[in-house]
Amino acid sequence: MLSTMIKRLMKGNEGIVPEDIHRRVETLKNTCNSWGYNEWGYSLDWIKRYMTIGQWLNTHYFRLQPFGLEHIPEGQFMLIGNHSSQMAYDGMIITTAVFNNTNPPRFVQAMIGTFFAYQPLYSVLMPRIGQISGTPENCQRLLEEGKAVLVFPEGEKGGGKTFFNRYKLMKFGEGFMQLAQLTKTPIIPFAFIGGEEMVPSFSRMEFLGKMIGMPYFPLSPTLIFPLPTKCSLYFGKPILFEDDPMDQKAISTNVDKVRTVIQQLIQQGLQARKSIFF
């Protein structure tokens, strides 16, 4: 069923785009030119396809349960949480969940690894669906425009962690906090449960990754077809930090505070789930 849907969508058949998603994506129309593209390169047609596939996966395959959506504010914000699932499946699940379950719909743009810009397919596909190379300049500009941004402070170390380190937070980068303080942007901490099991990796195989221009290449039996784990998302309350963005001590302290909240949300999610698949 999913493969048929994808083939029809890729051929430009919008007849299978649900009316609700069509209507939601049309709210972004005033940011695009007459061809349906905005200045960042995303396409209304591609976003409709992306949200349709994401909604099907979230509802029927991963059976996602989101908690705390009431914490998603109007205006700019940063979603900050744990990274997993190897090949950006978590980003798709999170961004489509927020877009399809908020009113008015909030379109979250993920900051992705800059190495994706050099990969075939990804380098074209990611901008078309609104995902942006994760440079500080790009992130700051989006926030100053009042947009919503998804950042994984663990970076590729988090997305590519092995199964033996599942749900253990890697070291956080601190750039997101400086930008949050600089732009007076609230941070929404979150925990994503299920991603570590859908694509279990037993080695990062960094030597192979470097050969193809990536920091790692996961050794996983489910890399292309992730397991149908039952997923959940836990959003925490907004946190606004108003310290001097040049105060490195305050930045480090605030990063630790956010990391602690995320770890608590992870533990809450792990304790609440009854099993990996049901």
Amino acid making up residue 149:
V
- State the pLDDT at residue 3: 67
* pLDDT in 10s for each residue of the chain, 278 residues: 666 666 666 666 557 899 999 999 999 988 889 888 999 999 999 999 999 999 999 999 999 999 999 999 999 999 999 999 998 899 999 999 999 999 999 999 999 887 777 777 777 888 899 999 999 999 999 999 999 999 999 999 999 999 999 999 999 999 999 999 999 999 999 999 999 999 999 999 999 988 888 899 999 999 989 999 999 999 999 999 999 999 999 999 999 999 999 999 999 999 999 999 99
Give yes or no for a contact between 99 and 106, defined as CB atoms under 8 angstroms apart: yes
Using the CB atoms, write b or e for 65-104: b if 16+ within 10 Å: bbbbeebbeeebbbbbbbbbbbbbbbbbbbbbbbbbbbee
- State the pLDDT at residue 198: 97
Q: Please give the full DSSP string across 92-156, using - where no structure is assigned.
A: HHHHHHHHHTSSS---EEEEE-GGGGGSTTHHHHHHHTT-EE--HHHHHHHHHTT-EEEE-TTTH
- State the pLDDT at residue 212: 83
169: burial class by Cβ within 10 Å (0-12, 13-18, 19+)? Answer: buried
Q: What DSSP designation does 57 have?
A: I
Superfamily (CATH H level) for 67-272: Glycerol-3-phosphate (1)-acyltransferase (3.40.1130.10)
State the pairing for strand pair 187-193/148-151.
Answer: unpaired
- State the pLDDT at residue 10: 62
Q: Which residues pair with 234 in a beta bridge?
A: 67, 191
**Radius of gyration (C-alpha) of the chain in whole angstroms:** 18
